[in-house]
């Protein structure tokens, strides 16, 4: 007989015990690792953090969801635990606030639903009140405010614009209406000015005649003077008309001025609002959008590099639009040497 000697029963039993021991050790390590991972996850989820419950009531649950962050001056201090509805159709919201932040939040604090950025996620923001009533405690009920959404801002802006446009239209219609006091007064003013000009020319002519012919007799002079008198009367009546026209203009002007003032004020308010949007909000939107695109690009690049995606994609390579005497554009992988 050649080869290994047959193992005895006791040896085999010992070997089996060793294998059993090794598997138990391996399983114990695996279980401990799993427990540690679960515990770590739970720790990160805040299971071991001491919290208190506070509430607020809202008119609608729109924009709120379970787990959303509760922030105080930009720091996450808790999360939304539960949303329920009561019999009066009020939305009752339960928040979990980290106990270590309790001294920083007073019982008169206001909860505000806002966005982290103009196009970012919704968050609940705590804003402290006067601080007279001390810090929050378990089951404190807080006040709630809702920040106007972008659509509401735009709607408010449109509402602001509407009366302004109406007023401008009204003022324009007033100025362009041929029957309005203003247009009539201007027409009369034009007529009077024309009459005055005519009278002035006539008077000049008569004065020249009077000067030249003063020596031609009293009769002629009187006639001339009579004519002059008539013309002066005419001028006086014209002046009366002018006076009445000016009175009308004077009466109409305060109304017009008030309307113009109101229109200009509306324009000023609207332009202020528009400037606010353009200088404060738009650049931040553009900046955020740029950052978002850049982040997305980085994420896609990261995903492309990770296993198993990297094995599914063709390897990156430099491509060249080789010289084509017919003007074609065909890409070829770049060779190390062209000859």
**Residues found near another protein in the complex (CB under 8 A):** 23, 26-27, 30-31, 33-34, 37, 301-302, 305-308, 316-331, 334-335, 337-339
Only one residue has tokens 């939305």, namely 91
Q: Which is nearer to another protein, 87 or 332 (CB)?
A: 332
The bridge status of strand 69-72 relative to strand 122-127 is: parallel
Task: Write out the two tokens for 240.
Answer: 């009366």
Query: Considering the complex, what minimum distance in angstroms separates the CB of residue 57 from another protein?
Result: 43
Q: Which is nearer to another protein, 187 or 305 (CB)?
A: 305
Query: Considering the complex, what minimum distance in angstroms separates the CB of residue 292 from another protein?
Result: 18
Q: Which is nearer to another protein, 38 or 260 (CB)?
A: 38
Q: How many CB atoms are located within 10 Å of the residue 54 CB?
A: 26
Angle subtended by helix axes 181-213 and 218-276, to nearest 10: 150
Task: Write out the two tokens for 303.
Answer: 């995903």
Query: Considering the complex, what minimum distance in angstroms separates the CB of residue 312 from another protein?
Result: 13
Task: Write out the two tokens for 187.
Answer: 């027409």
Q: Which is nearer to another protein, 163 or 297 (CB)?
A: 297
Q: Which is nearer to another protein, 37 or 73 (CB)?
A: 37
Query: Considering the complex, what minimum distance in angstroms separates the CB of residue 327 from another protein?
Result: 6
Query: Considering the complex, what minimum distance in angstroms separates the CB of residue 329 from another protein?
Result: 5
Query: Considering the complex, what minimum distance in angstroms separates the CB of residue 286 from another protein?
Result: 19
Q: Provide φ and ψ at 11, rounded to 5°.
A: -65, -45
Query: Considering the complex, what minimum distance in angstroms separates the CB of residue 317 from another protein?
Result: 8
90, 144 contact by CB (below 8 A)? no
79, 70 contact by CB (below 8 A)? yes
Which H or E run contains 40?
Answer: helix 9-44
Q: Provide φ and ψ at 64, rounded to 5°.
A: -110, 145
252, 185 contact by CB (below 8 A)? yes
End-to-end distance of the chain based on CA atoms, in angstroms?
A: 72
Q: Which is nearer to another protein, 130 or 316 (CB)?
A: 316
332, 320 contact by CB (below 8 A)? yes
Task: Write out the two tokens for 19.
Answer: 């294998």
Q: Which is nearer to another protein, 18 or 49 (CB)?
A: 18
């Amino acid at each position: 007989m050649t080869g290994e000697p047959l193992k005895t029963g006791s040896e085999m039993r010992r070997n089996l015990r060793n294998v059993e021991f090794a598997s138990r050790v391996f399983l114990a390590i695996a279980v401990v690792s799993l427990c540690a991972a679960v515990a770590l996850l739970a720790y990160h989820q805040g299971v071991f953090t001491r919290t208190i419950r506070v509430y607020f009531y809202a008119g609608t649950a729109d924009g709120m969801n379970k787990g959303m962050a509760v922030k105080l001056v930009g720091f996450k201090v808790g999360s939304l635990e539960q949303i329920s509805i009561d019999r009066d159709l009020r939305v009752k919201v339960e928040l979990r606030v980290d106990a270590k932040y309790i001294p920083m939040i007073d019982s008169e604090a206001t909860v505000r639903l806002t966005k982290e950025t103009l196009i970012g996620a919704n968050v609940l923001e705590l804003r402290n009140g006067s601080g007279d009533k001390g810090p929050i405690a378990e089951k404190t009920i807080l006040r709630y405010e809702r920040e106007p959404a972008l659509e509401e801002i735009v709607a408010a802006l449109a509402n602001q614009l509407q009366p302004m446009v109406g007023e401008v239209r009204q003022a324009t219609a007033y100025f362009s209406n041929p029957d309005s006091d203003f247009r009539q007064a201007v027409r009369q003013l034009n007529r009077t000015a024309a009459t005055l000009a005519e009278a002035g020319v006539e008077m000049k002519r008569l004065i020249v005649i009077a000067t030249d012919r003063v020596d031609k007799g009293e009769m002629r002079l009187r006639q001339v003077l009579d004519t002059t008198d008539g013309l002066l009367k005419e001028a006086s009546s014209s002046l009366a008309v002018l006076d009445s026209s000016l009175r009308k203009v004077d009466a109409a002007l305060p109304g017009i001025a008030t309307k113009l003032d109101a229109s200009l004020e509306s324009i000023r308010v609207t332009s202020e609002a528009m400037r606010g949007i353009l200088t404060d909000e738009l650049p931040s939107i553009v900046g955020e959008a740029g950052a978002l695109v850049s982040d997305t690009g980085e994420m896609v690049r990261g995903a492309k590099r990770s296993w198993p995606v990297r094995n599914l994609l063709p390897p990156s390579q430099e491509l060249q639009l080789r010289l084509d005497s017919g003007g074609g554009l065909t890409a070829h992988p770049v060779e190390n040497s062209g000859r």
